[in-house]
């Protein structure tokens, strides 16, 4: 039995015991008080009847009548006057100590009736009830004695039955507690085993979701976590394979063409120049890949520092489109800027990092657009500038859009290998835009093209907050 099972069982048992024992005590008291009250009422009623008989002056020898009647009815009573004189005694043995005790009780009562219980000379417990009388101008009481032995025996039976019921209930409760605690803890134990399997690398494992409560929700969350970890792990493995391939390819080219130049295997100066251009291209490719990895590391560690300033949007866009324009020309694709805002628009950003963002996005657009058009549109309000990059390229499926900013994700693997790219550019772009307090949104339709919308602040928000204060 596992620990949570024991804890739940013990908790349920303690709760059950803490309810049953007080409940049993209350039930016992209710039975006892009910029977005692009933005995009191009956005894007091008899005492009152005998008192009324004594108070009736028309009856001669009424004391003798009362005593004989009580003896015949096997009822126990005494008639005691204020001076402690016993005028009648039926079926009960009393000593002076008991008579004195009864007298003191009657004197201390605020009313003329007495109800109390005590033991007599015969060792039995009696309930005494008294009713006032006046006999020969002297006040006194008729005191009835009702044995409580029957009530006590009855209560013993009730107590035994209550104890049996409580013990039986506890045993049944223990069984139910063990059953329900096992049933409640079993999904948690299953989830614990599943998470341990996940920790060992078995991300295909899933837990059963049988209930619609919090435990079921936890199971769903664990399954979602496992699915996400499985997806990320798959992307990580693919990323390692891709990055290995992307690193190995330029290294292979560099080694091969460097060896060719070293051994002077070219046939002409033109071929030699082609070798040098290939070496330069692959070196740049390798450098770009290493820089991307370095940027991601700095962003993850929070060590990337931005040097923000006011940047003229129109001048910046005309400058930044020059770099991918040659590649676009090779693919028979044009890059256009649509900025109908007459006045100069500025954004508050790091020019080098912003250039990195737009170069990456424009290179992506050119890479996936052939015989098409790439358009940059500018919109602005008092707070932000919106720049849209629209292309007429191959586009993406909608189910791919939620994952394009994951650093291990590559859109359509076969297509990605065809067009190149290590799958690091967009994650870097997303995090750089976030560091600028901006927003990037991508919409796309497969076969029709893609739109990337970038929102950047026009002013230094921290400085504005300081000035407001």
Structural domain spans, the chain: 3-153, 214-300, 309-468
State the pLDDT at residue 343. Answer: 85
Average pLDDT, the chain: 82
Helix, strand, coil shares, percent, the chain, to 5:
60, 20, 25
* Residues 357 and 427: beta-carbon distance below 8 Å: no
**CA distance readout (Å), 196 to 139, 205, 217, 236:** 90, 10, 19, 21
| Topology, domain 309-468 | Heat Shock Protein 90 (3.30.565)
Predicted confidence at residue 60, as pLDDT, reads 59
Average pLDDT over residues 280-288: 83
Over its C-alpha atoms, the chain yields an Rg (Å, rounded) of 50
Give the contacts of 405 (CB within 8 A, at least 6 positions apart): 426, 427, 429, 430
Phi-psi group of 423: left, alpha or beta (phi > 0 → left; psi -120 to 50 → alpha; rest → beta): left
CB atoms within 10 A of CB 142: 28
Contact between residue 329 and residue 369 where contact means Cβ atoms under 8 Å apart: no
pLDDT tens per residue, range 326-344: 889 989 999 999 987 878 8
| Closest CA relative to residue 441, chosen from 412, 410, 401 | 401
Kindly report the CATH number that applies to the domain delimited by 214-300: 1.10.287.130
Alpha-carbon distances, residue 219 vs 7, 208, 210, 223, 361 (angstroms): 21, 7, 9, 6, 40
Distance between CA atoms of residues 206 and 220, nearest Å: 9
Say whether 214-300 and 3-153 share the same fold: no
Which fold does the domain 3-153 belong to in CATH?
Beta-Lactamase (3.30.450)
Percent of the chain's residues with pLDDT above 90: 20
pLDDT on residue 109: 56
Q: Mind listing the pLDDT tens digit for each residue in 414-462?
A: 444 444 555 678 888 999 999 999 999 999 999 999 999 999 998 875 5
């Amino acid at each position: 039995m596992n620990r949570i099972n024991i804890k739940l069982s013990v908790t349920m048992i303690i709760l059950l015991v803490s309810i049953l024992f007080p409940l049993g005590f209350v039930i016992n008291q209710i039975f006892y008080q009910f029977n005692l009250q009933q005995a009191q009422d009956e005894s007091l009623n008899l005492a009152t009847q005998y008192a009324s008989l004594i108070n009736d002056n028309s009856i001669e020898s009424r004391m003798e009548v009362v005593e004989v009647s009580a003896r015949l009815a096997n009822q126990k009573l005494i008639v005691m006057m204020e001076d402690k004189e016993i005028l009648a005694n039926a079926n009960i043995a009393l000593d002076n100590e008991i008579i004195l005790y009864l007298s003191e009780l009657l004197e201390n009562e605020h009313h003329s009736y007495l109800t109390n219980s005590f033991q007599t000379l015969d060792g039995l417990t009696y309930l005494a009830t008294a009713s006032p009388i006046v006999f020969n101008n002297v006040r006194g009481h008729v005191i009835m004695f009702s044995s409580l032995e029957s009530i006590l025996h009855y209560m013993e039976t009730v107590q035994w039955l209550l104890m049996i019921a409580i013990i039986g209930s506890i045993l049944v409760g223990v069984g139910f507690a063990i059953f329900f605690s096992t049933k409640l803890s079993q999904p948690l134990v299953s989830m614990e085993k599943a998470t341990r399997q996940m920790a060992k690398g078995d991300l295909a494992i899933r837990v059963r979701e049988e209930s619609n409560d919090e435990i079921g929700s936890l199971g769903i969350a664990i399954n979602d976590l496992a699915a996400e970890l499985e997806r990320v792990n798959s992307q990580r493995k693919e990323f390692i394979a891709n990055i290995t391939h992307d690193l190995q390819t330029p290294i292979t080219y560099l080694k091969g063409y460097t060896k060719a130049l070293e051994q002077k295997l070219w046939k002409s100066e033109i071929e030699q120049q082609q070798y040098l251009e290939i070496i330069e291209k692959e070196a740049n490719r390798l450098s770009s890949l290493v820089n991307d990895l370095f940027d991601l590391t700095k962003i993850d560690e929070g060590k990337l520092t931005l040097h923000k300033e006011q940047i003229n949007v129109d001048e910046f866009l005309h400058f930044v489109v020059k770099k991918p324009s040659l590649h676009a020309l090779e693919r028979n694709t044009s890059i256009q800027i649509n900025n109908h805002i007459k006045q100069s628009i500025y954004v508050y950003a790091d020019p080098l990092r912003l250039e990195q963002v737009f170069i990456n996005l424009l290179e992506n657009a050119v890479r996936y657009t052939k015989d098409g058009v790439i358009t940059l549109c500018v919109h602005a309000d008092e707070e932000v500038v919106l720049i849209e990059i629209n292309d007429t390229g191959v586009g993406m499926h909608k189910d791919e859009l939620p994952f394009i900013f994951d650093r291990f994700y590559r859109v359509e693997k076969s297509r990605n290998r065809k067009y190149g790219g290590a799958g690091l550019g967009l994650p870097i772009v997303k995090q750089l835009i976030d560091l600028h307090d901006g927003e990037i949104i991508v919409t796309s339709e497969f076969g029709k093209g893609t739109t990337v919308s970038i929102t950047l602040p026009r002013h230094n928000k921290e400085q504005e907050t300081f000035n407001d204060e």
